[in-house]
Amino acid sequence: MTGVQGQGLEPVIGLEVHAQLLTRSKMFCGCSATYSGTPPNTHVCAVCSGMPGALPVINRAAVDMAVLAALALNCRIAEQSKFDRKNYSYPDLPKGYQISQYDMPIGIEGRLNFDLAGETRSCRLVRVHLEEDTGKLIHAAESGREYSLVDYNRSGVPLIEIVSEPDLRSPEEARRFFVELRRILMFIGVNDGNLQEGSLRADVNVSVRRPDGSFGTKVEIKNLNSFRSVQRALEYEIDRQRAVLGRGELLEQETRGWLEDEEVTVSQRTKEHAHDYRYFPEPDLPPLLLTGERVSALRESLAELPADREKRFIAEYGLRPQTASLLTDDRLLADYFEEAVSAAGPVDPSRVANWVTGDVLRVLHEIDAAPGGPQLPARSVGAIVSLVERGTISGAAGKTVLETVAATHESPDEVVRRLNLAQLVDPRALEELAESVLRENPRLVQAFAKNPRVLEALVGKAISASGSKASPALLRSIMEERLQRADVR
Amino acid sequence: MEYDTAFKTISDLGRLLATREISSVELTHDYLRRIEQYDRRIGAYLAVTADLAVDQAECADRLLARGEGGPLTGIPMALKDILSTRGLPTTCGSRILEKYIPQYSATVVEKLERAGAVLLGKTNMDEFAMGSSNEHSAFRPVRNPWDFDRVPGGSSGGSAAAVSAGMAAFALGTDTGGSIRQPASLTGTVGLKPTYGRVSRYGLVAFASSLDQVGPITRSVRDAALVLQVIAGWDPRDSTTARADVPDYVAALDGGIRGLRLGLPIEYFGEGMSPGVEARIRSAVDAFRDLGATVEEISLPHTHYGISTYYVISPAEAMANLARYDGVRFGLSSAGCDIWETYANTRQAGFGREVKRRILLGAYALSAGYYDAYYLKAQKVRTLVKAELDRAFQRFDALLAPTSPTVAFKIGEKAGDPLQMYLSDVYTVPANMAGNTGLSVPAGLSEGLPVGLQILGRQLDEATVLRVGHAFEEATGYSADRPDLSAAAPA
């Protein structure tokens, strides 16, 4: 794919990620920050629709979430930061300026570690800052006349912008960075990770250079709304840049857009037409001061981050890396798993993990419930795994109990009693059962000497005879012992 | 019984209302009649809300009959047309907002409504408060009630003229670089610019957000105290308001000024000052000495930089504040073939020359490559101006100065020379730059026209400024001077 002449040129990639914060109200007014599925212009007021004379008031919860994100991304927190006006005209920006943070962001100099093919990579972060989202334009046409409508429900929704250093060297690395960033933001509860709806979106900056040479000409690709498009757009753009340079031509510093269907980038704005945003300090807002106590309290409230938790799950519970990764993608699921482990008592936690990542997730999905909800409590899951592992019920019965608990909200013990699912574990009764099955199947018993596999057939018959109650494990050991004795005789 | 209510103070009218010697409805009709009689000539009002005023007056009368209400209940007032009034046009003196009707009221408007004041109408002003003569109103100029060939000052010229001509008992103005004090000075009224943050700006259509402040224009210092009492205070909707207690301003008026230390900044008596104005201010200084205060000269060398700094910072903020007038959601919209042309057409048609000039100034001062030389430098100078005033207020309880270097000038006299016009604010701008409070009180006449004495005070210390102004007013009686309006009365 790569243009032959431009080969050997190394990509240099940085990301700018915008993440909407999960606050109830908007960044600078009391309007609901929910806009998905709401009728247009119903969550608006004088402030977020930019009416003359209206003034912004800082949403404290948004500041807290921005600090949490900055802490999770290993940033320094600025004791004093401020808001600035970023001036540009567009109909989705009702004030004609966006309130953002320019030269004093809330979080400075962070770092994000992520995994690439089993290796830990690290990318430095320039900053994390707070700003407000814009409204949305809806383009329409009526009897051949095209027009646009504006919906300000999204206008003023709090955003953080996370800017990385150009430390990434491949599209795959950029994708992994974005995946891990999303996992962290979701894990600490500040963003819903919904790329399709744009509550998380990425711009990428990419250039190519001779290894260890000086930076090449940078191109920005805006509004990438999937992991795939981040990777594909970068792959396309790197090829394009290598090809241009390979032809001996010069690259232009510009902003390009990614056409999802054609899988190409196209020029949108060149440097000569770059905006001069005329930033200046927002005079309607006082400086944003953060006390040490407030930051410490937020730091303490910050849960263990997914990568750390993943490592701990491997070390402490002996989970396979893949399972640990799956469980720590979602903070609720990770919490759920740990609660189930402690409810299960002395049971191998990897058994609990298998249940949680398998049948439990399936059942939760079927009943459309989140882990941690009341429909299928983690302690019930722990109890079920424990019942199975102790042999009180069979694995198959365990699934039945799980599904029943999710449907009826009974306790596992109640379900086991009501459906009479307890296994036959009494040794004397199992001995009698084994004895009678062996008696009734002399030909199989004879065949055992030549073919030990007939044991399974005999165990199966015994289980059927017990009405599926007999513990297969116990039965097997009893029968095997009997058959071997018979053999000796 | 007939009362000459036109030039009575709020306190006097309040007594007449409280004793039911006159009703608020009668009083309101008195004022509406005067507006009918004189405003055709003066042009102080952009809208007269007669029906609303009578409704509000009836309401006030019911309260007063029950012995309820406060000092402003039933008192007819005017509001500068830059203060948002729900359901009533708020034009800011601009074509671009000619048809705009706000969906909410400014905090100060709500406070005055709750206090029972009666709204007579919205007053004329320089477009978006940019001007010192009211000639920049997109609708019509305002004439000075003292001489119809002269300007009333600006930008709150309509509010000042209305109070001066007895067409409102009091009015609210806004002051970004002198827009309350200068027109008060030129019309013989009392004008108070409170400390930045003392009065909520919520609903005040922004010109320069870090400088704008709402304040009263009245016929006496006591009246200014009464109005400030109602409008002052922290507002959760304005993050720049001070979380400070509001003192009893009326109680603070009395007690005299014996022993008070007053400063006289020598830089406020410079080039361009008319001898007649200087004579009035020097005579005021004598009056203060007679009242037992000490008056000493002080040098405030950064004063000279005030105007140039102001004309970098205020246009920069204005450029952003005025960006929302884009023809998309409200106000004038002059459609083009695409959004960019719609923006251009709307602004071309909707903004006047002075507004365009300031938007360009601001855009230039903030543009890449010039930011450090202009905006940043101006902010540094602003810090110096503030530090200088802070130091002065360690030595002095208040500073005395002229409000304007000249008396009211002729309509058209400075209209062709923006720089000359800008220098009208040379003595008022420093208080905005530093955020301090300033009061203009009548100091007698020069050439038959009013001269204003400016009293500058510490941050949030309106009480002292009002006390100094009150003492001066009591001692001299200049606030009782009235214009002769006979030339305006229809033949």
Q: Which value does ipTM take for this structure?
A: 0.95
Q: Is A87 on the interface with B (CB under 8 A)?
A: yes
Domain that holds residue B249: 10-301+386-480
| Predicted pLDDT of residue A346 | 87
3-state percent helix, strand, coil for chain A, nearest multiple of 5: 40, 20, 40
Residue B322 resides in a domain: no
Question: Cβ B319–A278 below 8 Å, yes or no?
Answer: yes
The CATH number of A427-488, from 1.10.287, 1.10.10, 2.30.30, 3.30.70, is 1.10.10
- Cβ contact A199:A316 at 8 Å: no
Matching residue, tokens 């104005």: B277
Question: Cβ B326–A96 below 8 Å, yes or no?
Answer: yes
Q: Is A53 on the interface with B (CB under 8 A)?
A: yes
| Predicted pLDDT of residue A319 | 93
Q: Which of B202, B330, B371 is opposite residue A55, by nearest beta carbon? A: B202
A3 pLDDT band, cuts 50/70/90, is very low
- Cβ contact A95:A61 at 8 Å: no
- Reported as a single tens digit per residue, the pLDDT across A117-164 is 889 999 999 999 999 999 999 988 888 888 889 999 999 999 999 999
Q: Is residue B185 among the annotated active site residues? A: no
Going from the C-alpha of A392 to that of each of A385, A421, A461, A463, A473, the distances in angstroms are: 10, 9, 20, 15, 11
CATH 1.10.10 placement within chain A: 427-488
Q: Which of A174-183, A197-206, B269-278 has the lowest mean pLDDT?
A: B269-278
A486 pLDDT band, cuts 50/70/90, is low
Nearest to B158 by CA among B178, B180, B176, B190: B180
Q: Which of B202, B239, B363 is opposite residue A53, by nearest beta carbon? A: B202
Q: B274: cis peptide before it, omega within 30°?
A: no
Residue B124 resides in a domain: yes
Question: Cβ B328–A55 below 8 Å, yes or no?
Answer: no
Our CA-based measurement puts residue B382 at a distance from the nearest CA of chain A, in whole angstroms, of 14
Residue B354 resides in a domain: no
Q: Which of B84, B208, B322 is opposite residue A53, by nearest beta carbon? A: B84
Mean pLDDT of B107-126: 98
- Cβ contact A215:A209 at 8 Å: yes
Q: Is residue B333 among the annotated active site residues? A: no
A6 pLDDT band, cuts 50/70/90, is low
d(CA B158, CA B33): 17
How many CB atoms are closer than 10 A to CB B20? 11
Q: Is A199 on the interface with B (CB under 8 A)?
A: no
Question: Cβ A94–B324 below 8 Å, yes or no?
Answer: yes
Tokens of B108: 């100060």
Q: Which of A321-335, B105-119, B377-391 has the lowest mean pLDDT?
A: A321-335
Going from the C-alpha of B6 to that of each of B27, B221, B292, the distances in angstroms are: 9, 17, 34
Mean pLDDT of B249-273: 93
- pTM of the predicted model, to two decimals? 0.88
Q: Which of A174-178, A180-184, A208-212, B429-433 has the lowest mean pLDDT?
A: A208-212
B1 pLDDT band, cuts 50/70/90, is very low
- Reported as a single tens digit per residue, the pLDDT across B374-422 is 999 999 999 999 999 999 999 999 999 999 999 999 999 988 888 888 8
How many CB atoms are closer than 10 A to CB B106? 30
| Predicted pLDDT of residue B2 | 47
Percent of chain A whose pLDDT exceeds 90? 58
Q: Which of B202, B240, B343 is opposite residue A286, by nearest beta carbon? A: B240
B162 pLDDT band, cuts 50/70/90, is very high
Mean pLDDT of A470-483: 83
Which has the higher per-residue pLDDT, A13 or B337?
A13
A488 pLDDT band, cuts 50/70/90, is very low
B272 pLDDT band, cuts 50/70/90, is confident
Mean pLDDT of B33-53: 97
| Predicted pLDDT of residue B490 | 57
B134 pLDDT band, cuts 50/70/90, is very high
Residues A371-388 as b or e (16 or more Cβ within 10 Å = b): bbeebbbbebbbbbbbbb
Q: Is residue B80 among the annotated active site residues? A: yes
CATH of the domain at B56: 3.90.1300.10
| Predicted pLDDT of residue A46 | 96
Q: Is the pLDDT of residue A274 over 80?
A: no
- Reported as a single tens digit per residue, the pLDDT across A408-460 is 989 999 998 888 888 777 788 888 888 888 888 888 888 887 888 888 888 88
Question: Cβ B102–A94 below 8 Å, yes or no?
Answer: no
Average pLDDT score, chain A? 90
| Predicted pLDDT of residue A258 | 92
Residue B491 resides in a domain: no
Nearest to B64 by CA among B127, B131, B19: B19
Q: From the candidates B8, B80, B111, B193, which is the catalytic residue? A: B80
How long is chain A? 489
Q: Is the pLDDT of residue B61 over 60?
A: yes
| Predicted pLDDT of residue A474 | 82
- Cβ contact A402:A363 at 8 Å: yes
Residues B84-96 as b or e (16 or more Cβ within 10 Å = b): bbeebbbbbbbbb
Mean pLDDT of B229-240: 97
Q: Is A97 on the interface with B (CB under 8 A)?
A: yes
Number of domains in chain B: 1
DSSP output for A409-452: ---HHHHHHHTT---B--HHHHHHHHHHHHHH-HHHHHHTTT-T
